[in-house]
Structure 1
Amino acid sequence: MTMDREKPLLRVVLTDVNAEVVRAWRAAFADTPEVEIHKGSILTRHADAWVSPTNSRGRMDGGVDAVIKRHLGAGIQLRVQRAIRDQFGGSLPVGSAVCVPSGAVNPTFLISTPTMEQSAQNVSETLNVALACAAAFQAVHAQNARQPGSISSVALVGLGAATGRVPARVCANLMWTGYTLFNDYRFHDYDDLRETIRGQLDDIGSRPEEERVRVAVPATPGPRRSRG
């Protein structure tokens, strides 16, 4: 993991049809006015990349995943699952993501990040939202490393807030954690990301629901790993 000292040139848009999630975002992100917050479908947002919460197999059969699949066409699921197979052996761990061409003008890319291992799984008592959000932003870093400037804007929904049954306030606070990680760090790979988040947030269940948690800067960077 390395620390990012320069402010990332990325327009971040949070959008959801759930008014409770939107209210929770406005509270959690009150001191980050650069983040845009809207009530409405992600399908109405213009961005280089949309982030879709998925499952470890990339089956886009429910929630926002299914909405996006209907909008972009069945081929998007094939591209997501091919990327999961090629990069992760067919199963995408929570705390990782794939970024694939969407086949559309808006968005250019779809970032799929699992909030759950199986479809319609209750993840309300887990760190999965923070892991998924951080992984989505890590995917932005990775794509821009491959093609500089290819993602300058990204839209996200309330990760885990619908199918995953994560309470709106918990969802918002964990997404804030993921966003601050994007501002502060650039992880060597997804293993590094998961290790850092789980190492510092494992006791999150014992903290007040309204508490926002910012991952601390480590004394020394972690070892560089070869796997993504």
Structure 2
Amino acid sequence: MIKFKLVAFDFDLYYSWKSCFDNIEGVEVVDGDILQEKGDAIVSPANSFGYMDGGLDLKYSTHFGWDLEQKVRNKLESDYFGEIPVGQAIVVPTGLPEVKYLVSAPTMRVPSDISETVNAYLAFKGIIQSVLAYNRENNGVIGTVLCPGLGTGEGKMSASVCAKQMLRAYKVCLNNEMLRQGGLASAVNDHIKLLR
């Protein structure tokens, strides 16, 4: 089973995650610097084009080396016509032993305010799906995933909304709580709840 270590950069995000993910198996919430944590993979809450020269991605590029951005860009160009939509993610090797994989998961197409969207839900769903698929093809090499807030920086999404959206994605993907009844009305109601 995959373990997600949610690493908060501020107390608002930390307490929002703690509130939502309390007693959820396979999730640990910590406060601190994500680059000081140990894991097999680290999430880049990216833009759709894979550019890593701003925000948290800039810290990643400085830490892991600028060739990591080129690896992401090469994968996007070869497999996704140069950009990946919000809700999908890719896994690329970092080439470093301390964190072997980067999961590039756009929370926005380009830097913008996503506070009135379900993009954190879509991004976390994409993260989970891509890691599960990568593990199926590579003998389960990713055990622990380090994940920062999704859309809580440049995207201006509140910590509480981000946490609720991520919890919903986790439950859909790993607790089999996908919508099965109620038709479109149920889907619309679920969408509205994700925005609050």
TM-score normalised by structure 2 residue count? 0.90
Per the alignment, residue 111 of structure 1 pairs with 103
Corresponding residue for residue 60 of structure 1:
52
Matched, 1:127 2:105: no
Q: Which residue pairs with 1:46 in the alignment?
A: 38
Q: Is the 8 A contact 2:61 2:68 kept in 1?
A: yes
Cα shift at 1:100? 0.2
Q: CA deviation at 1:179?
A: 1.5
Query: Alpha carbon RMSD of aligned pairs, Å?
Result: 2.1
Residue 158 (structure 1) aligns with: 149
What is the correspondence of 1:10-21 to structure 2 with a 5 Å cutoff?
10-21=2-13
How far apart, CA to CA, are the structure 1 residues paired with 2:124 and 2:142? 16
Distance 1:156-1:200 versus aligned 2 partners, 3 A rule: farther
1:169 aligned residue? 160
8 Å CA contact 2:161, 2:194 repeated in 1 = no
Once the two structures are TM-superposed, the CA of residue 206 in structure 1 deviates from its matched residue by 4.2
Distance in 2, matches of 1:57 and 1:34, equals: 30
2 CA distance for matches of 1:139 and 1:205?
Answer: 22
Quote how far apart the aligned CAs of 1:143 are: 0.9
Q: Is the 8 A contact 1:127 1:201 kept in 2?
A: no
- Code of the aligned partner of 1:67: K
Cα deviations by residue, 1:59-112 (Å, 9 ceiling, x for unpaired): 112221111111000000000011111111101101101100011112110000
Q: CA deviation at 1:56?
A: 0.7
Matches within 5 A, 1:57-96: 57-96=49-88
**Unpaired stretches in structure 2, ≥5 consecutive residues:** 179-183
1:138 aligns with 129
Give the aligned residue type for 2:74.
R
1:79 aligned counterpart, secondary structure: helix
Q: Aligned partners of 2:123 and 2:55: how far apart in 1? A: 16
Q: In structure 1, how many angstroms separate the alpha carbons of the residues matched to 2:2 and 2:192? A: 33
> What is the deviation of 1:132?
0.3
Cα distance change, pair 34–141 in 1 and its aligned pair in 2 (3 A): closer
8 Å CA contact retained: 2:164, 2:194: no
**Post-superposition shift, 1:205?**
6.6
Alignment correspondent of 1:223: none
Tell me by how many angstroms 1:199 deviates: 9.0
| 8 Å CA contact 2:93, 2:101 repeated in 1 | yes
Name the amino acid aligned to 1:75.
Answer: D
1:101–1:110 Cα contact (<8 Å) kept: yes
Partner of 1:4: none
**Does the CA-based 8 Å contact 2:116-2:195 persist in structure 1?**
no
Stretches (4+) displaced over 2 A: 198-210
> Larger % of helix: which?
2
Q: CA deviation at 1:201?
A: 5.2
Alpha carbons of structure 1 residues 157 and 79: separation in structure 2 relative to 1, 3 Å: same
Determine what percentage of the aligned residue pairs are the same residue.
32
Taking structure 1 as reference, are residues 163 and 134 closer, same or farther at Cα in structure 2, changes over 3 Å only?
A: same
Q: Secondary structure at the match of 2:149?
A: coil
Residue 181 of structure 2: aligned partner: none
State the number of aligned residues.
Answer: 190
* Match for residue 169 of structure 2 among 178, 184, 190: 178
The 3-state SS of whatever aligns with 2:49 is coil
Map 1:26-45 to 2 at 5 A: 26-45=18-37
